[in-house]
Amino acid sequence: MRNPFGHSHDKARIDVTTVKADGYGPMPIVRINAFRMGLLGGLGVLLALVIGSIVTQLSTVLVYVGLALFLALGLDPLVSLIEKKLPRPAAIAIVVLGALLAVAGILFAIIPILVQQTANLINEIPGYVDDILASDWYGNLENMFGDGFQDAVNSALSFIQDPSNLLSIGGGIVAVGAGVASGITAVTIVTILTLYFLGSLRSMKRALYRFVPAYRREAFADVTDQVTGAVGRYVMGQVSLALVNGILSFIFLSIIQGPLPALLALLAFIGSLIPLVGTLSASIVITALCFFNSPTTALVAGIYYLIYMQIEAYVLSPRIMNRAVSVPGAVVVIAAVAGGALGGVLGALVAIPIAASAIIIIQKVVFPSQDAKTSPPPVAAS
């Protein structure tokens, strides 16, 4: 038997004939082609796998683009401020030149001190070892754990002093050199992208607005400006907090004569770029490295960073970040861990602003839209 459309019934096609549905008219005919649905489903899965593979391969590039975009958003408030008196290209040139001079000044100030202090540290390591072996607390540990502790210490010292082990150390040096080269490449790429995004930020926004219907374009542009402005203030605020931590760390470590104060201050600055997690991690590493001087130095450093983290959390951060969005601690931890797993250090740095922008969108778009719904939608009459 053939249906009105001339197709014979088979297992791959199901026809639902026209019937009356409660007197309101005929129901539509529904056909399901199993082969076609399976083919489209398989192609969809294959396309999803290809897209996932492409995103995985381009993860580093996407991190660079994201970092450059957020740096451009962070520098844009300064550019807009200077733009009130100068043309935008001149304002961009001044801001970028000032940022590059600041970075170059920090490097030229730190590198000579770092080289000198590293050489001093290498020369003083035997003295540090002798001081540790002659200290009272080391004697207490030796008495507490017995001969096993002394054997472990002797094995470690023998490994360090054995020239045949320099090959393994050399492999580590090669890896560090490759990491430094990769870091220089990343900095160059991010700098170029940041310059491009700064110069074309407004044209990029205008192009983005064209994807929105004209009757919603004005509201969308207003929300976008609020989001980008808040993200820019967030980035600048986080950099300000990092500068405060880095400068205070350098002054404090110089006073207590900690090892490599310039390097440890730089570590504190980089760590503070990642809120909550980075400051805590950098403080633990710096405190541990202070054991090279003495346990007393490490104890003083630990107390200082414990106090500083409280001041940063309850005094500095609220004052500096009062105009930017507040990111909950749980979101910071999750975003930092996820970003670090996906893109390493750069991924962790970019993850926090991404989380901040998501929170801004929720606060500026989703919540007002839900708050405007004061009554249920009308039900169509049957």
pLDDT over 90 for what percent of the chain? 6
pLDDT digits (tens, 9 = 90+) for 116-128: 766 776 676 666 6
Q: Report the range out of 177-186, 306-315, 340-349 with the highest average pLDDT.
A: 306-315
Q: Is 191 exposed, middle or buried (0-12, 13-18, 19+ CB in 10 A)?
A: middle
The proportion of the chain whose per-residue pLDDT surpasses 70, expressed as a percent, equals: 69
Q: Is 13 helix (H, G, I), strand (E, B) or coil?
A: strand
- pLDDT band at 346, cuts 50/70/90? low
**148 vs 103, more confident:** 103
Q: Which residues pair with 26 in a beta bridge?
A: 20
CA torsion, ordered 247, 251, 253, 256, to nearest 10 deg: -160
What does residue 210 show for φ and ψ, rounded to 5 degrees?
Answer: -65, -20
Q: Which residue has the tokens 């490759």?
A: 178
Question: Which one, of 67, 6, 13, lies nearest residue 36 by Cα?
Answer: 13
Directed axis angle between helix 214-255 and helix 277-289, to 10°? 20
- The reported pLDDT for the residue numbered 124 is 67
Amino acid 245: pLDDT: 92
Q: How much helix, strand and coil, in percent to the nearest 5, is found in the chain?
A: 80, 5, 15
User: Can you tell me whether residue 26 is helix, strand or coil?
Assistant: strand
Q: Is the pLDDT of residue 70 over 50?
A: yes
> Does residue 85 surpass a pLDDT of 90?
no
Amino acid identity of residue 42, one-letter, is G
Q: What is the pLDDT of residue 223?
A: 80
Q: What is the pLDDT of residue 12?
A: 45
Q: Tell me, what's the pLDDT at 178?
A: 63
Q: How many helices (H) and strands (E) does the chain have?
A: 13, 2
| pLDDT score at 349 | 67
Handedness of CA 139, 140, 143, 144 (dihedral sign): negative
33: left (phi over 0), alpha (psi -120 to 50) or beta: beta
Please check the confidence at residue 10 and state whether its pLDDT lies above 80.
Answer: no
Q: Which residue has the tokens 């001339």?
A: 6
Find all residues with CB under 8 Å of 328, minimum gap 6, and list them.
Answer: none
**Is residue 253 over pLDDT 50?**
yes
Token pair recorded at residue 304? 């200082």
Coil/strand/helix, residue 2: strand
Which amino acid does the sequence have at 107? L
- Residue indicated by tokens 């994807």: 211
Q: Report pTM.
A: 0.62
H or E segment to which residue 33 belongs = strand 31-33
pLDDT tens per residue, range 166-215: 445 555 556 556 666 777 788 888 888 888 888 888 888 889 899 989 88
Per-residue confidence at 287, pLDDT binned at 50, 70, 90? very high
**Dist. CA 37–CA 14, nearest whole Å:** 13
